[in-house]
Chains A and B, each alone.
Chain A
Amino acid sequence: MSAAFDILLCLMILATAGIALFVRGAFAAIAFFIAFGNLLGLAWLALGAVNVALAEIAVGAGVTGVALILACSRLFELGDNLADVRTPLASRLGSAALCLGFTVMLAGVVLTIPPGDRLSKVVAPLLPGLGIENPVTGVLLAFRGYDTLLETFVLLGALVAAWSLTPDASRRLPPTTMVMTDPTSRIVAEAFTRLLAPAALIIAAYLVWVGSDLPGGAFQAGAVLAGALVVATLGGVVVLPRLDSLAARIALMVGPLTFLAIGLAGAALGGRFLAYPDGLEKTLIVTIEYALAISIAAGLALLAIGPPQPMPNNARADAR
């Protein structure tokens, strides 16, 4: 039964992926990509990885989807209709042969590896020492805390890189000038946001809190908050701050800074870099998670919305 479900799910995943990759229209492609992300989330649930499922749906499908949709609509506005240049048949055939060979080899190799849980036996005995029960949180914030620390800086760096593309003229603008113009949908979005925002805040706080014991955690919470922020911005309820405003800077930096400071404090107190002092593990981990959730929310929202766009000429005239 469950096997049949798995196979069906996988077929659906492949189908949505195929459509997302090869459908002609760009918007349709992204819509199917989001559907593909949600199905992947289901797959992760089927694999028993609730943490990843949450992250995949919120971050992988949600935030990436929003970023791509916004990018597409901006490209349309700029006159780029995302038309697909047909590659020559020979090149397509060659690519197909190459990729088919690659897929067959990869699938064959994958089948030689017996599936199995390799490290939970190593992880489990260490968790009581940390005072938390969710092994994934333990890996993310303790055993592989170094990876996670560096990864938060990747997020921050991506944001800086994206924003340094902005021309100076539009730097004074808030991150997006794109607000829904259709009055009806705008009212809907506004009303939706007013309901959603508090709920999202609560859900996020809860996700972080339970993250230490149950599935959840900083990334998932950050993604939920980011989603709320994006919707609110598109609805015109919230105006995201400029990157060089104090609020934005604090929100973006509090997570990495807290993480780095606690890591260095561990080293300064005689332990190792990123080692938590005895007894304080859970407190410190939860502190880091809340700080990270704020920064991730701000970072993902700003990334998804994209840097401020130079206004087209007619829009600039309207603004006057």
Chain B
Amino acid sequence: MSPLDLLVATPLGFMLAALAFGGQGRWLILVASPLMMSLAVWLVFLPPDAAHVVGGWDLPLGILLRGDGVARVFVLGAALCAALVGLQALYEFSPQSGGPSARNRGFWPLFYLMWAGANAGFLTTDLFNLYVALEMVSLAGVGLSALGSLQAALRYFLFALMGSLAYLLGVALLFANYGTVDITLLARTAEADAATLMALAVMTGGLLVKSALFPLHGWLPPAHAAAPAPASALLSAIVVKLGFVILMRLWFEAFATLAAPIAVGLLGALGAAAVIYGSIQAMRQRQLKALVAYSTVAQVGYLFVAFPLVAAAPSAAWSGMTLHAVAHMLAKAAMFLAAGLMLKAAPGRDIADLVGLARVMPVTVTAFALAAISLMGLPPSGGFAAKFMLLDAALDQGAYIYAAVLLGGGLMAAVYLFRPIAVAFSGAHGRAVALKAPLAAVAPLALAMCAIALGFFGVAFAELAAIGAPWAQGDAIGGVP
């Protein structure tokens, strides 16, 4: 028994159990959350070289599961998010919540499916296995966003379908070319021939759709804005990150030798454009959830701004990039949950409707504000520590444009995130009505506190994320085709 298997098998078991128990299946989360958390912690404390092939079938036939640093931090982050979002959903999707019962029941199996898929994706090194994991997560994501708006879910579905097909096309080319789809084997044999380059290009295109990088982000704002709060939280926290992790594995491990600086620079430029574009759109939104959704578009941009920095000098930027991803995971999940609660209490969905909310639900607004601090990259928070590391790397390399984007993005985030907070604190006579569920604010607050606390453990995090990192094996990344 190893957490590498159990982290996938356990949520799948819970999915079956949730289906079997029907209406009462929602209580399973009370068992699943602590169980999955302990599995994730177990994974973190495995010996550094933890890896094995499923069923004992060796490569290139079998599938290698590997608990490297990236897998560890992302699995842990996803476990924190999913466990707390699940607890919140226990309230959100209860029969008393008044939603249709099909919706209330449909949530749980899809939730566990997404969890299993995300873990499977973080842990595997097999590109085809990643395709299946990607489909699990996308399917669950579409199903969850359909609980809010069908129109948005259908658009997301078509985007995801095209993204998957592009990725699959790349996998097919790679298999035909190399006879293997394992990242560790490809890293050894990859050559810069036409098939490989085309495979990398189309796979990256497909995965950029999944990770919602500008200009391929079109599915994200409507789907996030309409979905129920726990679903939006999962979409922003987990779905988007899986695409990103696969891209990390492709560009910095499997094809590290092919990653030409200009191509990595293109990704960085798209990231910078995403930061600016997402921030501007977020500033223009009138609805709270739309604002938070565009903030995800901007924050995803940071992850790709880090790409050229990692390619040039991995050790510092690597921890900044992973830390940013995990901090965003936690903070954005907290923010969506808090926003969901705030909108339930507010008379409408606009930011202007939040007047006086801080009086009615101080804890929820505090959770929102704490999450905002991390997203703005203000200290002491995970977002800050990540920005600090990235900025350090950018200045080190003389990449002043990226440094300016990092800082400017933080300032713009402060502008658009401050708006709802200021409105919530203003006005004594808002029309908000307190929710009769005092415990509902626990999950967003806990997530936001985790995002803040992450800032205090920057060094420990960096050490964890560097376990088995491709650049730690002595080879420099990129630059030399």
User: What residues make up the interface of A, taking CB atoms closer than 8 Å to B?
Assistant: 105-106, 108-110, 112-113, 115, 118-119, 122-123, 126, 139, 142-147, 149-151, 153-154, 156-158, 160-161, 163-168, 171, 244, 249, 252-253, 256-257, 260, 263-264, 266-268, 271-276
Contacts and interface: CB of A to CB of B under 8 A. Distances in A.
Nearest to A160: B109
B194 A109 contact: yes
Contact of B129 (A115, A122, A146, A244): A146
Contact of B194 (A108, A146, A273): A108
A164 B107 contact: yes
A264 B54 CA distance: 11
Interface stretch (B131-139, B329-337, B463-471): B131-139
B193 interface: yes
Contacts of A161: 106, 110, 139-140, 142-143, 146
A168 B146 contact: no
B439 interface: no
Contacts of A263: 9
25 contacts: A105-B198, A108-B194, A110-B173, A118-B175, A118-B179, A122-B60, A147-B63, A147-B132, A153-B12, A154-B139, A156-B15, A156-B109, A157-B139, A160-B143, A161-B110, A163-B102, A164-B147, A165-B146, A252-B19, A267-B2, A272-B53, A272-B54, A272-B56, A273-B6, A273-B9
B110 A160 contact: yes
Contacts of A145: 54-55
B173 A171 contact: no
Nearest to B173: A109
A172 B187 CA distance: 54
Interface of B: 1-2, 5-6, 8-9, 12-13, 15-16, 19-20, 22, 52-57, 60-63, 100-103, 105-107, 109-110, 113, 116-117, 120, 128-129, 132-133, 135-136, 139-140, 142-143, 146-147, 150, 169, 173, 175-177, 179, 193-195, 198
B101 A273 contact: no
B9 A164 contact: no
A103 to B, nearest CB: 12
A165 B102 CA distance: 7
Given A109-B194, A273-B2, 17 more contacts: A106-B198, A109-B198, A143-B55, A143-B57, A146-B54, A146-B55, A153-B12, A153-B15, A156-B19, A157-B136, A164-B107, A164-B110, A252-B19, A260-B13, A263-B9, A266-B55, A273-B5
Nearest to B114: A157
A109 B177 CA distance: 10
Contacts of B120: 150
A256 B8 CA distance: 13
A146 B136 CA distance: 13
A256 B6 CA distance: 16
Nearest to B4: A273
Contacts of A154: 113, 132, 135-136, 139
A157 to B, nearest CB: 4
B16 A257 contact: yes
Nearest to A122: B61
Nearest to A308: B102
Given A123-B61, A168-B100, A252-B19, A163 B106 contact: yes
A272 B176 CA distance: 29
A152 to B, nearest CB: 10
Contact of B52 (A115, A123, A156, A272): A272
Contact of B63 (A144, A252, A253): A144
Nearest to A123: B61
B20 to A, nearest CB: 6
Contacts of A257: 16
B135 A260 contact: no
* Highest count of chain B CB atoms <10 Å: which of A109, A150, A151, A165: A150
A293 B11 CA distance: 23
B273 to A, nearest CB: 21
A144 B124 CA distance: 13
B143 A164 contact: yes
A158 B110 CA distance: 9
B55 A147 contact: no
Contacts of A106: 169, 198
B109 A139 contact: no
Contacts of B173: 109-110, 113
Contact of B56 (A112, A260, A271): A271
B139 A158 contact: yes
A126 B60 CA distance: 13
Nearest to A263: B9
Nearest to A152: B12
Given A109-B194, A161-B110, A272 B55 contact: yes
